[in-house]
Structure 1
Amino acid sequence: GFAAAIKAAELGARVAMAEGGTLGGTCVNVGCVPSKTLIRAAEAQHRRLHHGFKGIAATDGRPDWRTVRSQKDDLVSELRQAKYWEVLRSYQAVTLFEQRAEISSGHGVRLADGRTITAGKILVTTGASPWAAPIPGLAGVGYLDNVTAMALERLPKSLIVIGASAVGLELAQIFARLGVKVTVLEALPRVVPAEDAEVGNALGDYLQEEGLEVYAGVQIEQVARAGDGYTVSFKDGGKTRAVRAEQLLVATGRRANTKGFGLDTAGVTLGKKGEIVVNEFPQTANLDIYAAGDVIGDPMFVYVAAYGGTVAAENALTGNLRRYDLSALPKVTFTDPGVASVGLTEDQARAQGIEPLVSRLPLEHVRRSLAARHTRGFVKLVADAATRKIVGAHILASEAGEMITEPALAIKFGLAIEDLTATFHPYLTLSEGIKLAAQTFSKDVAKLSCCAA
């Protein structure tokens, strides 16, 4: 919504923005910013004991969670002030109404205080909220979600995490590295199930080596709460198991916030999961109403939401000249090692009629990873055998997110394997792993000298 308001103001429009929650939405307040700073704090704690360097003394000590949490909250407040409130003040054409609103007619929006605003175009960016899968016993026991987990007053001794996609795994590793005994349960066959299978299998192994208990491919049968903890019963390979913990975190996904905004009477169509259905502009069934961000469903990333809001505002004011295109969208899971991907997997390429070429480079061949003692993982590139153009990249590595933009650009602009190998990559950088992976299509990089072209 904020990105849309700025774009509309830049195009000369007067903008009314209604916000019934906290300015800044999910990312800065309860999503990306707080989780990523906690990830770094947990990593710092973990490295005290597990850094891989001889001659450097390992130090122990339980973290001060309240201080860690307080520093996280301070950063959130600082960014909300600097990147939202102060930015808002610089746009005189944008008026913020700090209250809930709903669509009252085709061009009217009714505020909670009874006032009505009329506009030529309306954009819905109401986001999404944590959603819990229908698990027997879950509804009545009370549990943590990503928001309440990061606001805990104290660290629990043990934690069960249901759901092993990005949010669940990031929080699971945070708490494990801060000294909590963590068990992860996932219904699908592996962690990060939407990613390349080899990536998910390897990450699951690494997390278990780090001390997390990970069960994938399970069927949860019952959740119960008794006394000072929770018990989750599940089937694992035909066997019935039960795990117990002081706290329970449910991270089984998010659902669009579409109830109570007047969408049903405005002619806006909803999908099977309650998300707003849009076309490529992104316009709803009511052509004067656009929607963007998490409210239109997956993928729910803040950079996708900002892009979608910008496209929607531009189209609403200039006449649908720009298409909403996610064809070269990179995504990142901020575990350690991290997961980053863009484009097609090998199997997806075949399903689209593409004969894939696949290269796989273990991180032991990336000199920066060797120097940093972070060699867990690999870089996998997928190319079209007919054209040699890059069509996919799948990375499991420390700081994988810092490596994925180059393959994304390669896919977006139709670059081939040789374009990557012919590009200078500074020595002892992680990005050199992209060049080495491209060289792996035709060479054995183990037989190359350092910096070999």
Structure 2
Amino acid sequence: MATKNFDVIIIGTGQAGPPLAASLAKNGIKTAIIEKGNLGGTCVNVGCTPTKAYVASARRAFIAKNSEPLGVEVKGEIVVNLKTIKARKDEIIQDSRDGLHKMLTETENISLIKGTAKFVDEHTVSVNGENYSAEKIYINVGGRARIPEGFSNVPFLTNISILELEEIPEHLIIVGGGYIGLEFGQMFRRFGSKVTILESGDKLLKREDDEFAEEIAAIFKKEGIDIRLNSECISAKKKGDQIEVKIECTEGAPTLTGSHILIAAGRIPNTDDLGLDKTKVKLDKRGYIKVNDELQTNLDHIWALGDCNGEGAFTHTAYNDFQIVNSQLFQEKKRKLSDRFLCYAAFIDPPIARVGMNEKEIREKGIKAKIATRPMSKVARAKEMGETQGMLKILIDDKTDKVLGATFLGTGADEYIHTIIDLMYADAPYTVIRDAVHIHPTVSELIPTMLENPKPME
């Protein structure tokens, strides 16, 4: 079999792959980019783009039903049309796919190859019976939902298939209290479903400080979402046209019946069908590809970018992976993985946003720190908007006055968290924000105020 040769092969068209291909091509490097599914990876097709479109529709429905306290009365029935919501989502996705297809097929030095790539050896992959070889290979294959044992006999939903529904579920049972489960839970409750969230741990969003998890649980319960903690799902089975879930729990009924079940119990990398056993690329025990500070694997000609390297499960971290690799290739200033501050948001309403360490992690590390907090109920703009749920917390190193981390839960938190993110990248003390003048009336104007007198973290 003849082998087609390239300078570089990229496997996957998620957030890191296409910009890397464009940069390589611009520099005269003959590049093949391989995609087994739809162009754009998780974010474009089944992640950020579609879910945030659904979140927007859910918020419109919620506002329509809950504006009377602000003097706006909606007369008549509020009808949520999931077919229309889905069609709008599909149009947005297709626009992104079309843009990527145009770039990847019309740019000189880029060859788009459709199909599943499997390694034949450490420099060669096979796609649809054809072999392709390159001096350098970049793996950008993303991840997928982890399906626990015990659910193979029921028509479960994942973050992919739930976006194809055209009828609103009567009762949606969600296995998992992480950010994916919470986003879908709140949106479908606002669409009109009865929603039950089953979480095996003792709180939602297990990575967050307790008070934020508790506040989110209170917000969800206020919206009529049933939350069952300490509930380990053992199995599920069909029961007529319903699904019955067996639960090992400390309290509550040991079984639960609903019309639909969504599995949101974590993610796993798409590395199991790459044929990596034909190479010496090292994986960790969860199947993620091990990388160094430049995202290089243990083989000096193979790199791993995006969710498959286990160094971040977000669109922005995947794109930053591209920036790291691109800087190492073509830029004077070299970026590294260790330069990055982990930051993310869960796009529930109100959103929770986080950067750096939280209080629990700081205590575990024994770092002497100061803390500044403020409830959203004491933020004037939040009161004016009628959205006072949540709280703000900033943690500061007592010795250096540098910010260690922050968690914001409240209206607009996913935007003004960047005030703290930018300060941390500037390596500046918290006093820079404390002494700044922010615009009134905004939520972010309270950040300087809350930093006026941070307290020692006891």
Aligned amino acid, residue 43 of structure 2: C
Equivalent of 2:46 in 9, 30, 47: 30
Contact 2:356 2:406 in 1 (8 A): yes
> Does 1:127 pair with 2:142?
yes
> Does 1:370 pair with 2:362?
no
Contact 2:144 2:269 in 1 (8 A): yes
Equivalent of 2:132 in 90, 99, 117: 117
Deviations 1:141-160 (A, max 9, x none): 12000111111121111110
Contact 1:7 1:314 in 2 (8 A): no
Residue correspondence of structure 1 range 327-366 to structure 2 within 5 A: 327-366=340-379
1:128/1:54 CA distance change after superposition, 3 Å: closer
Contact 2:288 2:309 in 1 (8 A): yes
Give the CA deviation at 1:191.
Answer: 1.0
Give the CA deviation at 1:317.
Answer: 6.9
Gaps of 5+ in 1: 443-453
CA distance in 1, matches of 2:180, 2:137: 31
Equivalent of 2:82 in 43, 61, 65: 65
Show the counterpart of 1:450: none
Show the counterpart of 1:451: none
CA distance in 2, matches of 1:127, 1:37: 21
> Does 1:50 pair with 2:66?
yes
Give the CA deviation at 1:230.
Answer: 1.1
Show the counterpart of 1:77: 94
The list of structure 1 runs, each at least 4 consecutive aligned residues, that deviate by more than 6 angstroms after superposition, is: 317-320
> Does 1:87 pair with 2:103?
yes
Q: Which moved more, 1:178-187 or 1:275-284?
A: 275-284
1:13/1:165 CA distance change after superposition, 3 Å: same
Aligned amino acid, residue 31 of structure 2: V
Contact 2:209 2:360 in 1 (8 A): no
CA distance in 2, matches of 1:317, 1:262: 30
Output the aligned Cα RMSD.
Answer: 2.1
Show the counterpart of 1:184: 197
CA distance in 1, matches of 2:288, 2:333: 21
SS in 1 for 2:448: helix
Q: Kindly, what percent of the aligned residue pairs are identical?
A: 28
SS in 2 for 1:81: helix
Gaps of 5+ in 2: 1-16
Aligned amino acid, residue 215 of structure 1: R
Contact 1:338 1:398 in 2 (8 A): yes
Aligned amino acid, residue 447 of structure 2: I
Contact 2:371 2:395 in 1 (8 A): yes
Give the CA deviation at 1:435.
Answer: 2.2
Give the CA deviation at 1:357.
Answer: 0.9
Q: TM-score, normalised on structure 1?
A: 0.92
Give the CA deviation at 1:64.
Answer: 1.1
1:430/1:161 CA distance change after superposition, 3 Å: same
CA distance in 1, matches of 2:429, 2:254: 49
Show the counterpart of 1:379: 392
Show the counterpart of 1:13: 29
Residue correspondence of structure 1 range 71-220 to structure 2 within 5 A: 71-82=88-99, 84-89=100-105, 91-114=107-130, 116-134=131-149, 137-220=150-233
CA distance in 2, matches of 1:14, 1:154: 47
SS in 2 for 1:214: strand
Equivalent of 2:438 in 417, 422, 425: 425
Contact 1:219 1:236 in 2 (8 A): yes
Deviations 1:237-262 (A, max 9, x none): 35543221100000011111112322
Equivalent of 1:275 in 288, 312, 333: 288
Aligned amino acid, residue 181 of structure 2: G
Aligned length: 439
Q: TM-score, normalised on structure 2?
A: 0.91
Aligned amino acid, residue 32 of structure 1: C
